[in-house]
Structure 1
Amino acid sequence: MLTHVDQQGKASMVDVSDKPSSSRQAIASASISMSAEAFELLKGNKHKKGDVLQVARIAGIQAAKKCADLIPLCHPLMLSKVAVDFSLYEQAQRIDITALAKLTGQTGVEMEALTAASVAALTIFDMCKAVDPRMQISDIQVIEKQGGKSGHFINKDNS
């Protein structure tokens, strides 16, 4: 059964008003690969546009809070926590981004976590593109979610 269309086949936001509130959390990830030069500048905080990872962290947090403005059928949510973290892999010249979104509410936060990870990657791209316009963003995915009727989910294919 499709949940985002009404009986006439029109797009519709799901009515969650009868669902009980519960603690919900989602973790999503993304990766961005770049040239050795761009990676070294990022690692040494020497990109001309400033502190790439701190700007990307703030952008990811802001994006999670604006998810309903970007994805048409998402509910606006009162997030209680958003965190964006980075792991740098020098040999691969890759940054892995992990985003966590959390709340107590009637609907999940997977889209908010995915949006945070995606926008953090896009921000890194934007800030580093003058040095490496060939960067690649990949592996945007939900890693784990907890709460709600479906319970605990771990993406075993990518853990």
Structure 2
Amino acid sequence: MSSFTHLDVHGNPSMVDVGEKAVTKRTATARSIVVVDDEIMAKFVGEDIHTKKGPVFQTAIIAGVMAAKKAGDLIPLCHPLGLENCQISIKVIGKNDIEILCTASLSGKTGIEMEALTGASVAALTIYDMCKAMSHNIVIKETRLIEKTGGKKNFKLSE
């Protein structure tokens, strides 16, 4: 098993030095699943849930992109990165499951997974926030990396 990259030789937290790494095109896609109850699903109009606060999915997309851009501010040893692209899609899968996909990309020296994971997570939290007045029977049940390219190794979730 490899060692933790964010610890120095003495076991202290340390930011990874990426100074000597090559710039490569990097992309990552993360997914969050939010499960809501029938009362919330009944609020669907077209492709979105509408509440007194506004369109839930559209608001969650904006929040997710904003969060992805701030991952380096939120996660202590995460490098601040200038995203070149961040796309979030939200759709209902199954009866009451809402799938959020966040894909982030850049050309840089370090990965983009944390930005994609942060974007998907905050989009899920935004759905919770906007729907909680109707019901607290909401579960954010999964946030995970689906795929990444660039850097030392590529990854693709095999389901």
TM-score grouping bracket, smaller chain normalisation: over 0.9
Alignment match of 1:132 (pick from 135, 141, 158): 135
Q: Who is 1:153 aligned against?
A: 155
Alignment match of 1:99 (pick from 78, 102, 106): 102
SS across alignment from 2:51: coil
SS across alignment from 2:50: coil
SS across alignment from 2:34: strand
TM-score by length of 2: 0.93
Q: Who is 1:67 aligned against?
A: 71
Structure with more of its chain in helix, by fraction: 1
Partners in 1 of 2:111 and 2:41 — Cα distance?
34
CA shift for structure 1 position 5: 1.1
Q: Who is 1:113 aligned against?
A: 116
Give structure 2 stretches of 5+ with no counterpart: none
Partners in 2 of 1:8 and 1:154 — Cα distance?
33
Q: Is the 1:39–1:94 Cα contact (8 Å) retained in structure 2?
A: no
Aligned residue pair count: 154
Q: Amino acid of the residue matched to residue 65 of structure 2?
A: I
SS across alignment from 1:46: strand
Indicate yes or no: 2:90 matched with 1:81: no
Partners in 1 of 2:12 and 2:34 — Cα distance?
36
RMSD: 1.1
1:100-148 per-residue CA deviation (whole Å, 9 max, x = no partner) reads 0100000010111000000000000000001111100012100000011
CA shift for structure 1 position 60: 0.2
Partners in 1 of 2:152 and 2:66 — Cα distance?
27
Alignment match of 1:51 (pick from 37, 50, 55): 55
Give structure 1 stretches of 5+ with no counterpart: none
Partners in 1 of 2:90 and 2:54 — Cα distance?
16
